[in-house]
Structure 1
Amino acid sequence: MAFIPKSETTRTFIIETTADLFNKKGYAGTSVTDMEKVTGLTKGSIYGNFENKEDVALAAFDYNLDRLRKVIQNAVDLCDTSTDKLLAHVTVYYTKTTNHGGCPMQNTAVEADDTHEELRLKAASGLMMWKKDLMAIINKGIRENEFKADTDPGKTALIIIALIEGGILVGKATKNYVHMDTIFDAAKATIRQICI
């Protein structure tokens, strides 16, 4: 049996090349053959660097989530106001989630809610990080008198998340992106309603 090096470079390569695959096909829909095909590596090479398919899927989820969060943060960093920072979240999801198979939190949560607890927990954690990010922006907007003082940051953040994720779900399921536009417009209206 040939020696298979467990290098960080190889692990990173496997994660990056399987990330879109897992995001598009899900954990159950992704086979070892699929992973071999996209990486160009053998099963032995893949499992020489990961314990099993689940280990690859968990790492791919982390990569997908980190990639999405960086895109959002880059867009937010370009904004001056708290309003624009919140609107940037909507814009990024509207324009970027069609890349790489969609929102990794939604894709994973829908598939794993009753079938894979560890992946479900990762999706839940990602959503709660997003909620925390939105709440920080909303709290800053309240402190700087940009948002109404009686705004509930937690409730508002969850409504924004629900509208964004719901818009994506309805748009993808119906293949009618007018529905998605309508729901994303509601997310933008929610943001504008808290402005002073």
Structure 2
Amino acid sequence: MAKQDRAIRTRQAILEAAATVFDERGYEAAKLTDILQLAQVTKGALYFHFDSKEDLAHAVIDAQVSTAPMPMPQVSKMQEFVDIGMVFAHRLTHDGLLRGSVRLTLDQGGHELNRSGPYREWTELNLRVLNEAKECGELLPHADPQEVAPLVVGSYAGLNLMTQALGSNRSEMDRWASALYRHILPSIAVPAVLAMLDMEPGRGARALEAAGAAEAAAG
């Protein structure tokens, strides 16, 4: 068991180091030697877990959704929908693995990489919650979850690209995410539901804190 735990920690250290290097340099400029140095592991340890730089990059991309902490389920499904995005925006400031994964999904280099996974998974997650909101009567009759979900996911991708191009701090995404919801939700959410939603900057941090407190109380 101790050997297995050590292997898990080593793999995670490699993933986090790779994410940092990919975030700073992009896929093509990233070197395995820099990842090894940052992770403080041997080349043999890296190749035990990953076959190549491409394989490592795909693992970082896949971690974007699979390891993402999720906000608590809410009575209001529209609040839950908002929380998914606001937590994502908050984590961009604090989570190096997420930043590296996002950089890879937006990076124009490394054409051999399959970047479609996170887009599909985030869209499916948002679509599921929006469908639940529709069933609960929280969406206006014309609002189509099949249109709204990819629209929001695509907007996040565009905002990430814009903040990178402008050299803005990643913390700006929290403000932009809040603005995105404040402009979109009035056109799709029932007014009574809209009036109760927390879309303000900092909502992601508050939602994660509440989820952590609930998990600690349950444990």
Query: What TM bracket, shorter-length normalisation?
Result: 0.7 to 0.9
Return the offset for 1:104.
5.0
Q: Distance in 2 between matches of 1:8 and 1:49?
A: 9
Return the offset for 1:169.
2.2
Check if 1:192 corresponds to 2:186: yes
Return the offset for 1:37.
0.9
Q: Aligned pair count?
A: 181
Matches for 1:32-43 after TM superposition, within 5 Å: 32-43=32-43
1:63/1:189 Cα in 2 relative to 1: closer, same or farther (>3 Å)?
A: same
2:151 pairs with 147, 159, 168, which one?
159
Matches for 1:13-52 after TM superposition, within 5 Å: 13-52=13-52
Q: CA-to-partner distance for each residue in 1:127-157, whole Å, 9 max, x for gaps?
A: 1111111111111111111111321112111
Q: Distance in 2 between matches of 1:88 and 1:53?
A: 33
Structure 2 length-normalised TM: 0.69
Q: Distance in 2 between matches of 1:105 and 1:45?
A: 21
1:14/1:138 Cα in 2 relative to 1: closer, same or farther (>3 Å)?
A: same
Contact 2:127–2:149, Cα closer than 8 Å, also in 1 = yes
1:128 is matched with 120
Secondary structure at the residue paired with 2:133?
Answer: helix
Check if 1:108 corresponds to 2:104: yes
Percent pairwise identity: 20
Q: Distance in 2 between matches of 1:22 and 1:140?
A: 36
1:85 pairs with 71, 76, 80, which one?
80
Read off the aligned partner of 1:128 and give its amino acid letter: R
Secondary structure at the residue paired with 1:98?
Answer: helix
Secondary structure at the residue paired with 1:97?
Answer: helix
Deviates more, 1:100-109 or 1:87-96: 100-109
Structure 2 unaligned regions, length at least 5: 1-5, 191-219
Q: Distance in 1 between matches of 2:30 and 2:121?
A: 27
Contact 1:79–1:85, Cα closer than 8 Å, also in 2 = yes
1:140 pairs with 132, 135, 142, which one?
132
2:206 is matched with none
Q: Distance in 2 between matches of 1:176 and 1:11?
A: 31
Return the offset for 1:18.
2.7
Q: Distance in 1 between matches of 2:126 and 2:47?
A: 38
1:40/1:24 Cα in 2 relative to 1: closer, same or farther (>3 Å)?
A: same
Check if 1:149 corresponds to 2:149: no
Q: Considering only aligned residues, what root-mean-square deviation do their CA atoms show, in Å?
A: 2.8
Q: Distance in 2 between matches of 1:154 and 1:105?
A: 25
1:3 is matched with none
Structure 1 unaligned regions, length at least 5: 1-6
